[in-house]
Structure 1
Amino acid sequence: MSVRSRLTKAQNATPCEHGRLMLSSSPHDSTIGFVRPPVTKRIAARMPSGRTVAATDITSASDSTKPSYEPPDTSFPAPLVLPGDDLALDPKYPPQTLRMWARDSNRNPITPLRKTVYVTSPPVLSADVDFMRAWTMPNTKSLGKAKHDLLARLPAELNMTIVQHYLEAFFHPLPVKLLGPPLSFTSWEQRKKPAKPSHTRVDIAILTPPSTLTKINHRSRPNSFLFTNQLSMSDLIDALMTSIPSDAHSITMLTQHDMYEDEDDEFICGRAYGGDRVAVVSSARYVVPPGMEDDGDSDGDEAGHQWPASHCWDFVKRKCANGNDEDEDVERTRKKRKTVVNKASDPFKSTNLIDVATNLSAPLPRALSVFLQPPPESMNAHATSSTYAASFHFRVIRTLTHEILHTFGLDHCVYYACLMQGTASLGEDGRIPPYLCPVCSEKLWRAVKAVITDGADGAPNSVTLNPRNGKKHPQEKGILEDKLRHDWMVERYRRMKAVCEQNRSRELGCQWRAFAGWLEGRLEELIQ
């Protein structure tokens, strides 16, 4: 079965026209007690003072340079909060305002001397641990023959040029560098002959520059698991902490191997230690296309509703129809506290819905329209592998940016559907948008502003002074701040859109193409 066939099945298996989008949280939020902060508090959350803004002070949509500007819901909808989602399991998760972020003593500010974002390529394998190569391949016994045949034809290696170009656009104007020379896995004993894993357990280590050897614990998994062996995430973090360059703000390791955090974990895709400026991200779980890693999505409904189709109203209704089943399954293993059930007479009454066809100029409907466009008839034979590679990179890079932002001090977001939302499953991972919401975007702006105002990357480094005393007028300072923020956001979006257009596939359901559509709509809002 080709990827195109898989995606087409995902769209057609469950009747769904994607005619309406839900911009509010799902009706499940009232069941589990999630209350989204109102618009006045959402605006206050991105103000340096943290003070609540009166409804009468909310800036109109035509004045998007102001910090009190609230974008329309068609640009930044509410978090979905579907059964089994992270916020459904922890609905009282504390929000992080801009003021809280700025005052966090564990946050490492960006400085002109320590501003570079470093990323490592996946570690290479030395000859004595070449058997680890098999650990990066999905266990096809747990997938079935059809899925095995598909995976055998699909590439799984990251193109680090794509990774670097996207990060340069996302974190503009910060420099992004690939750490060299590459890290390497080797044996802890430094054996002279290649080790054979069949009878004896081999202790693995990672060699980091200049010549530090760190032991990496690993564990084997039953044949029913997707990967037969996993590496300790904590040990990888320890190794990375020995390799932080002097000009680095943060460093993130990419690995092709599946990871675990503790013995109770099934797997973990990424983890960051913000105070230590390090993170690690595994691409292993993204090797398998959406919906194929779990037989629970045998009808393709979950795979067919990756972002931006995740806000499809019909899909949300189907997910909510399952009630608390998914929450309860996770509750039994994670032992979360009980939640109060609020049985509303009509849980769908207060939802915010829009018709896609009549709102195609808005970012989210535009993204969905592009996402669902059928491929051209002249598609060539290489489209299948290129489409998979595009999706694979999109999913890995989305998690990578999320973890790097943790090293900037950003916590999980509860204000909007946002890149910085927490995730409780691979299904939810696919529903998370690739953009930052207004609150998290303001944190990133404040983080990189020191570089911009120092004149880095050709940015202005002076302002109009009061001729009477040579100081900035407070009003002038505020106007300049608003303009710098606005210009930075426009330039950042333009750069991200250019990268998306370079990476987009011509097949059905490409999220690069959808994100380019969202960015195009958002740019029109900002420069109108």
Structure 2
Amino acid sequence: MTCKHAILHLEPSPFAELAGYEQPDAAARAAAETTSGRAPKKGKDYSIGTFPGPLVLPHDDLNYDPDSEPQTTKEWLNAETRNRLLSTTGRDTLYVAQVPKISKKVEFMRDWVIPTGHGASEDRQEAEPPPSADLFVDYLAAFYHNMPVRLLPTPLTWTQWGSSSKPSSRYRSAALPKYVGLLDSEDRCTRIRVRPPPDSAFPAQLNLDDILDMTISILPVDAYALVILVDHDIYESEDDDFCCGRAYGGSRVAVVQTARYSPVLDKRQGEQIDRSHMWPWSHCKTFVDDLCATEDVEAKPATKKQKDLSKNSAMAAAVALASAYKPVSPVQEVQALWFSRLARTVSHELGHCFGIAHCVYYACNMQGTGSMREDVRQPPFLCPVCEAKIAHAIIGELSGGHEEEKRIWVKQRCQTLGRFCKDLEHRGRESAMWRGLDAWLEERLKVL
């Protein structure tokens, strides 16, 4: 029976207390928004129907790190490692590097982007091609409203490293080369380590740190930050199973892989993703209660407040419009779902390049994530604290604006993101997440 998501859970889950997480109170959250660190005399009262608390479900990031230190806007502002966004530095542009091409010398690397066991399946055909870099440019231009966003004009290419890059067999891990090369437009080649993934999800993995080193070396002189998209599975340390993305904020670079976000992997044994409870449906009370029950936390009856907000709130509108979404075809559904997941991560990693730490105040795009399951449960919007940081960087620092200009920017940003969500229908990339975000934005605009 299909879940109707009739009652929404918009506060930290009952399991959160057992995990040791306590959401900062309203006064602390209000103070965290300001550059002074003091709550305004006339405090902002955000409804949890618009800005819910983090769910903190079993095995979520905050389950394992419930005492994670919150980062206030004042602390962010004064962080020594943060790169200020100043017009005088000439570094005011966000760059997106397209997925590196694969040269004939390493033609075998094309097989490495195909999930193990999906070589000739219908799933493989549905999931190709990966999202275009142009989509990310347009999305980031809306998400980081008023920031110039451009494609990196210099192409990158996978090639062999020395004479050791050609394996004698496609899928035997013993035959994998130790290294491949990543070539920039000036024919400078960086050595990238290769290994078989511990979970065998893909034939091979590439080392994240090596790719980040190369990314730093090609950073444009006018770049505030650069994010590179990689179609291959990546890992950071020898102890990692895999790494979806990473930012070196102080160095202005980030890397995001597309491979692990492929919907083809949603049914992997032991790692199944419940597509019916991705955001915004992740706030379904029945779903939350069922996950809490796995840790012997008993469900409580729905309160009047929960019932009311489940009918009339920004999150209720998001759930309703997301539920009305019907994919055009299985192929369109997979490709749109793939893009929605990647877009959230790309904007998240660039958030770290702005100096923003993982958010513990609200359910937020800048939350940490402990798994792919948690990743798809998190929202695509910024909470008031993280949004205040971006507003200060773009309006306060780059443009020299003040509080009134920041308020105008927040409204314009919501409008711009809403237009982007609607435009995706014509680009074949509309999904339930974008539908839900569009509805959420419209409700929020009513009170701005």
Corresponding residue for 2:417?
Answer: 496
Equivalent residues in 2 for 1:179-218 (5 A)? 179-189=152-162, 195-198=166-169, 199=175, 201=177, 203-218=179-194
Task: Point out where structure 1 has 5 or more consecutive residues left out of the alignment.
Answer: 1-11, 60-67, 325-342, 455-460, 462-480
Equivalent residue number for residue 287 of structure 2: 315
Asked if the contact 2:333/2:431 (under 8 Å) is kept, the reply is no
Letter aligned with residue 122 of structure 1: V
In the alignment, the residues of structure 1 paired with residue 430 and residue 393 of structure 2 have an alpha-carbon distance, to the nearest angstrom, of: 37
SS at match of 1:153: helix
Instruction: Give the paired residue count.
Output: 439
Asked whether the equivalents of residues 134 and 151 of structure 2 are also in contact (C-alpha less than 8 Å), the reply is no
Matched, 1:154 2:100: no
After TM superposition, give the deviation of residue 208 of structure 1 in Å: 2.0
**Matches for 1:66-105 after TM superposition, within 5 Å:** 68-105=43-80
Indicate the residue corresponding to 2:140 in structure 1: 167
Rounded Cα–Cα distance in structure 1 between residues aligned with 2:291 and 2:176: 46
**2:394 is equivalent to residue 394 of structure 1:** no
Q: How far does residue 234 in structure 1 lie from its aligned partner after superposition? A: 0.6
- Residue 217 of structure 2 aligns to a residue whose secondary structure is coil
Please show how residues 244-323 of structure 1 align to structure 2 within 5 Å.
244-289=219-264, 291-297=266-272, 302-323=274-295
Does structure 1 residue 22 correspond to structure 2 residue 9? yes
Superposition TM-score, scaled by structure 2 size: 0.91
Looking at both structures, which has the greater relative contact order when contacts are Cα pairs under 8 Å and sequence separation is at least 6? 1
SS in 2 for 1:400: helix
- Choose 1 or 2 for highest CA Rg: 1
1:518 Cα shift?
1.0
Q: How does 1:124-523 map to 2 (within 5 A)?
A: 124-140=101-117, 148-189=121-162, 195-198=166-169, 199=175, 201=177, 203-221=179-197, 225-289=200-264, 291-297=266-272, 302-323=274-295, 348=300, 353-355=306-308, 358-359=311-312, 362-373=313-324, 375=326, 383-450=329-396, 453-454=399-400, 481-504=402-425, 510-523=432-445
1:524 matched residue in structure 2? 446
Amino acid at match of 1:234: D
Deviations along 1:54-102, whole A, 9 cap, x unmatched?
A: xxx4x4xxxxxxxx32321111000000001000111000000011101
Residue 111 of structure 1, CA deviation: 1.7
With normalisation by structure 1, the TM-score equals 0.78
Identity of aligned residues (%): 35
**SS of residue matched to 2:56:** coil
Matching residue of 1:31? 18
Contact 1:123 1:255 in 2 (8 A): yes
Contact 1:270 1:279 survives alignment (8 Å) = yes
Contact 1:151 1:288 in 2 (8 A): no
Note the C-alpha offset of 1:51: 2.6
The code of the aligned residue for 2:186 comes to: P
- Matched residue SS, 2:206: strand
CA distance in 2, matches of 1:255, 1:35: 37
Q: CA deviation at 1:504?
A: 3.8
> Where does residue 331 of structure 1 map in the other structure?
none
Structure 1 residue 293 displacement after superposition: 3.5
Measure, in 1, the Cα distance between the counterparts of 2:156 and 2:429. Answer: 35
Separation of aligned partners in 1, 2:387 and 2:76: 12
Tell me the distance in 1 between the aligned counterparts of 2:264 and 2:444: 29
In structure 1, distance between residues paired with 2:405 and 2:35: 16
Report the CA distance between 1:482 and its aligned residue: 3.1
Instruction: State the alpha-carbon separation in 2 of the partners of residues 294 and 371 from structure 1.
Output: 27
